[in-house]
Structure 1
């Protein structure tokens, strides 16, 4: 018997079945300890099929004990289906059995993963009635369950959350539980409660200090975050990186860089935090310079590094640097789709649309965002028909277009003069894909119609759309008036557009140009004078050679 007990934890599934045969052909099938250990081992191979068969063949003496039922609850909680975990739990009272501190944690976790709010609260009530809330294992599972389901369980203003109620009543609170509670307060923006908990902690670790630094950073209280940082008994790399992020979010990148340079030890996350902060705040050259320093120091880049520096290259039009970064990416097709999309976007924005398209074709399992980038890039580079083809190919690939997809494809239609294709796509949005057109979709379609002389249809569309026209809509209509030399309609459009009190110069410039095109120079000059009166400035165009 002792030999089998020692063998069971280490046996394979085939060996387990051989042991099963031995148990059946000997008196060991009546040994509760052996059979329970055997049943538990059967649940540890990733499937409950064999375990379910064993459990169904157990005799009445075994069914009257809670342990075999707990083993099945645990097995379904780990292997699924989770619904069967709850079914076994619900069967217990019908068998005259009461759940214990071993049962409840697995049931609560299953409820949380399934998002069953009402069931979770019912189980909580059972726990309170049975007195098992005093068990740390059960109370900790309750706490984690409420943390996972906090978004689903609405709490009125001023009320404690379910997690906080459980936390306050927990008989034992390890530092990890304190940290979780503080982090929840921080995520909810309740920094005052977080600091109260932080002060009350009997023992703090570095995670506690880092979480509070994060909390102060999120609400912009940099001085308090810095004070905590200076008082940490032992700073780790997360502490330093949190302060870098805090100053970067406050747009104080110079202080963030000073903290970065003072770090005694930096990891890839620290480098990424500083590089991505430069990219986020449009200091692209500094992002690339820091990346070069990162390479010189021998730090291995990850996908987050590459996304940030490729984005910097895209904005600078730095094609040669982008190519060098591409060369550094080892086995890029296996990286996350976000890196592959960043590469496509970089080549497209740097002018090499052919290379971007080639990379896109090579990428397997593109997501919707990558398809959207390719459609928009092709449209910008004048390959509008290719953009439309990609749009339909995307659907054949089993992906559903989203509102950004339609913005890109309607932009393509507008710039390619593809009126009929644009009309079909626009009216298919809600009908075929359940995507309600937004203002930007109406803007693209109005622009398409106006550019191609379909002013009557464009006017009706503007009149019937469920949004108040913005300056872009009126600008698109005015562009159509210029195509048709329709001064009467242009005056009406200009009158409506100027009521928006926008600082956009395009409408005024178009108005001036329309009058000038038919020789109405006084009216053209008047449109320019109105720009000066309203202090509307036309941005000066510029070119950059990289």
Structure 2
């Protein structure tokens, strides 16, 4: 009987047909029939795994109960729990296992624990990940390529690129996953710079010289992303040539095709992006959105809206990012009515609640079109708390259209909000003071200009130095 139950359990698991009711029935039968072997590590681990992935509510609670009452959990059971639980709980389970002092964790444990730290949204994730990394060095797993690659990925996800690069440089052996993690790490920074993109290409060039690994599809997606950040068409063409050399019909890969669209759009070659888009047989929401972004940044708002209509006809449902791109396109093309209609359709037609970036696009749209009073009232009536970016957008429009009264009102409100929020960043605050000063100068209110400048001196706010960027058109890969 026990054997039949176990066989059916494993069969359902392999076929992916495990539902919460079936799982509880089998689990109950195992207990009723005195299945002491249910407490064996392999069976306990599979039960925990199954309970944690079922969609019904309560599955995770069953997984926790099994773990809590398991007799002498071993490393395998801990590994399953760390892998299946939410990131914060996973790190707590790892710490509990360390505190017990009886278990000797293996490479899978450290891989799952570091992965959990990489997914943590709190700042504690970085500290906890560093503690785990220190323990990895202490117990001697620095030669394990999977653990080291996960460690590299962790630092990159936490925006600690110097630490990620140090781990990468110290790896005695690297797989394609290691190279991909480093390239992707450079390209996925929230505050990414052209230097990061260039470093990604440098790493890719070194990868080509390594005879032990070959670039994969993931590699090329990361490299194409780096080219997008650089915006140098010659480099983009060079990488595109390599992609076509190693991958037959790259447009048939939806991710590479989408990356090509994004790269060519941001490198100023919209025609090539459109050609790639038309040749792609399979398109997902990212593909459509990338093409809309390309049209938007080139000022072709009407074409972006037409593409949105084609996407609807193709039964592809838009998401919040899609609407951000469309509203951005309307801003640059001056399509006020179309933008307002899109904004209203977000929630009424598509069930997407507007976020702060969508409200920002509408403020920018109204401001650019000279509807300053409407933009001001729109901000005031927002259900969300407006951020400083929205007010700065309106203040800039007031200067363009010479509305000194509105500009003074917005400028003073902006400085007041900064003081209330305690967000006195010297550079951004400097720009706000200068903008208000320029508004007064436009109205020839020189006493007010002097007052603003004097306030800046008292608060120690210095003007932001200007700079210019000269972009070399030489091929970055050829420099190596």
TM tier relative to shorter chain: 0.7 to 0.9
Q: Please state if 1:433 is matched with 2:346.
A: no
Post-superposition CA distance 1:316-367 (Å, at most 9, x none): 2232222222112213535643332222222222222222222222223222
Structure 1 Cα separation of the partners of residues 410 and 208 of structure 2: 56
| Aligned CA distance change for structure 1 residues 393 and 311 (closer, same or farther; 3 Å) | same
Q: How far does the alpha carbon of each residue in 1:96-127 deviate from its partner, in whole angstroms, 9 at most, with x for none? A: xxx8444455567889754x4x6644553454
Match of 2:367 in 1: 450
SS in 2 for 1:301: coil
Shift of residue 526, structure 1, vs aligned partner? 4.0
Give me the CA root mean square deviation: 3.7
- Match of residue 372, structure 1, among 289, 302, 310: 289
Q: Which residue of 2 aligns with 1:394?
A: 311
Q: What is the deviation of 1:192?
A: 4.9
TM-score by length of 2: 0.78
Partner Cα separation in structure 2 for residue 337 and residue 533 of structure 1: 56
**Equivalent residue number for residue 239 of structure 1:** 147
Partner of 2:108: 207
Match for 1:303 among 185, 197, 217? 217
Match of 1:542? 468
In structure 1, what is the Cα distance between the partners aligned to 2:447 and 2:168? 60
Q: How many residues align?
A: 444
Query: In the alignment, what sits opposite 1:153?
Result: 58
Of residues 164, 175, 178, the one that matches 1:267 is: 175
Q: Could you say which structure has the larger radius of gyration? A: 1
Q: Distance in 2 between matches of 1:240 and 1:414?
A: 46
Give the superposition deviation at 1:400: 1.9
Q: 1:191 aligns with which of 91, 97, 104?
A: 91
Give yes or no for contact 1:482–1:514 (8 Å, CA) kept in 2.
yes
Q: How does 1:263-412 map to 2 (within 5 A)?
A: 263-281=171-189, 282=192, 283-298=196-211, 299-329=213-243, 330-333=247-250, 336-412=253-329
Structure 2: give runs of 5+ residues left out of the alignment: 119-124, 473-480
Partners of 1:186 and 1:468 in 2: how far apart?
A: 30
Change (3 A) 1:316 1:526: farther
Bigger relative contact order (CA 8 A; separation at least 6) = 2
What are the residue-to-residue correspondences of 1:71-220 with 2, within 5 Å? 100-106=5-11, 113-114=18-19, 116=20, 120-121=23-24, 123-132=26-35, 134-135=37-38, 139=44, 141-149=46-54, 152-153=57-58, 161-167=61-67, 176-184=76-84, 187-197=87-97, 205-208=106-109, 210-211=111-112, 219-220=126-127
SS class of match (1:500): helix
Runs of 5+ consecutive residues of structure 1 not aligned to the other structure: 1-65, 71-98, 156-160
Relative distance call for 1:296 and 1:108 in structure 2 (3 A) is closer
In structure 2, the partner of 1:31 is none
